[in-house]
Amino acid sequence: MTVFLNGKFLPESQAHVSVLDRGFIFGDGIYEVIPVYGGKLFRFTEHLSRLQNSLDAIRITNPLSSAEWEKMLTELIHLNNDGDQSLYLQITRGSAKRDHAIPENPTPTVFAMCNELKPLAAEIISEGVAAITIDDIRWSRCHIKATSLLPNILLRQEALDQGAAEAILIRDGQATEGAASNLFAVIDGIITTPPKGPMLLPGITRDLVLELAKNNGLSCQEKTISLAELQQADEIWLTSSTKEILSVTQLDGQPIKNGKPGPLYQRLLTLYQDYKQTLRNQPQKQP
Ligand SMILES: Cc1ncc(COP(=O)(O)O)c(C=O)c1O
């Protein structure tokens, strides 16, 4: 696998960062995950804009222009054989003597790699997944896509330990999002998702699902979802760049309605696949 590190394309085995890198020492950095379909970056403008917001929030100057990001990432995808991939990129504050205070004029570390992007298994589409609800133990800046993910790791593992695929996080009685996904519920026939704010990540897939729903005349709303509403919902979905849209058919061991993915899920998944296909059919940009 070829990766990108600080201006160079290298075999992964030859890419090294300093032990003093603040990403390693403090988790002082931010990241993005961008799906790639047919060698083409999915919702690139939206991902780049969220990247900029994360950088601004932690006071790192963007080391590359939009054109430079696009050129570098397109080349990296190409060096890894195009096709469908999941692109991971990370910017840390760089290397400095260990001190909480932000160093003056640090040089950020820029890293990017491609990972396999597997299509969803047929059984997951036809049967859905199980989820648990659990107290949100994270901080109050969840809109920043920070690399420091220890709470998310522990929450996701708690779900896995209970035989579920995802943990749905509850804060002050409201369901915010999953450990690594955004949350939707169909309530009284309306596709509902919590409004953006500091308690959840502004998911790119979330926005696309809302856009597809609105463009196809389906009613949707951005409104808080209480735990009780979630338990009574007609359908529950989780969205993320790598898992697209998952239907939650069991919550805390109880079936959601008849325990099968609902009709609106199937509709949105089809719209989502069609949208991906239009990207695949576009001409390839040259790196
Ligand atoms: C906490 C959290 N919420 C939501 C999402 C979904 O965001 P996106 O659709 O941009 O992948 C993720 C993605 O990993 C996440 O980690």
141 and 112 share one domain: no
> Residue 287: its pLDDT value, please?
57
pTM of the model: 0.97
- Ligand 1 midpoint to CA 175 (Å): 15
**Nearest 10 degrees: Cα torsion 113, 95, 155, 163:** 40
133 and 262 share one domain: yes
- Residue nearest to ligand 1 atom 14, measured at CA: 180
In a domain, 281, yes or no: no
140 and 268 share one domain: yes
In a domain, 282, yes or no: no
Number of domains in the chain: 2
Domain at 189, CATH number: 3.20.10.10
pLDDT tens-digit readout, 17-68: 999 999 999 999 999 999 999 999 999 999 999 999 999 999 999 999 999 9
pLDDT tens-digit readout, 227-261: 999 999 999 999 999 999 999 999 999 999 999 99
Q: Check pLDDT > 80 for residue 286.
A: no
Q: Residues 248, 128: contact at Cβ < 8 Å? A: yes
Minimal CA–CA distance to 71: which of 41, 94, 28, 29? 41
Q: Which atom, in ligand 1's list, is nearest to the CA of 204?
A: 10
In a domain, 233, yes or no: yes
- Ligand 1 midpoint to CA 104 (Å): 31
In a domain, 129, yes or no: yes
87 and 135 share one domain: no
Model confidence at 117, in pLDDT bands (50, 70, 90)? very high
Domain limits for position 33: 2-116
- Residue nearest to ligand 1 atom 7, measured at CA: 203
Mutate to test the pocket of ligand 1, among 154, 201, 246, 276 (most ligand atoms within 8 A of CB): 201
Among the three residues 101, 116, 131, which one is the final residue of a domain in this structure?
116
148 and 272 share one domain: yes
> Residue 9: its pLDDT value, please?
98
Among the three residues 100, 116, 132, which one is the final residue of a domain in this structure?
116
DSSP collapsed to 3 states, the chain: CEEEECCEEEEHHHCCCCCCEHHHHHCCEEEEEEEEECCEECCHHHHHHHHHHHHHHCCCCCCCCHHHHHHHHHHHHHHCCCCCEEEEEEEECCECCCCCCCCCCCCCEEEEEEEECCCCCHHHHHHCEEEEEEECCCCCCCCCCECCCHHHHHHHHHHHHCCCCEEEEEECCEEEEECCEEEEEEECCEEEECCCCCCCCCCHHHHHHHHHHHHCCCCEEECCEEHHHHHHCCEEEEEECCCEEEEEEEECCEECCCCCCCHHHHHHHHHHHHHHHHHHHCCCCCC
- Ligand 1 midpoint to CA 204 (Å): 8
151 and 96 share one domain: no
- Ligand 1 midpoint to CA 236 (Å): 16
Q: Which atom, in ligand 1's list, is nearest to the CA of 242?
A: 11
Q: Which atom, in ligand 1's list, is nearest to the CA of 201?
A: 3
- Residue nearest to ligand 1 atom 15, measured at CA: 180
- Residue nearest to ligand 1 atom 4, measured at CA: 181
261 and 130 share one domain: yes
Among the three residues 70, 88, 116, which one is the final residue of a domain in this structure?
116
> Residue 87: its pLDDT value, please?
98
> Residue 284: its pLDDT value, please?
75
Domain at 32, CATH number: 3.30.470.10
- Could you give the residue numbers annotated as active site? 145
pLDDT tens-digit readout, 163-218: 999 999 999 999 999 999 999 999 999 999 999 999 999 999 999 999 999 999 99
Q: What percent of the chain has pLDDT over 90?
A: 96
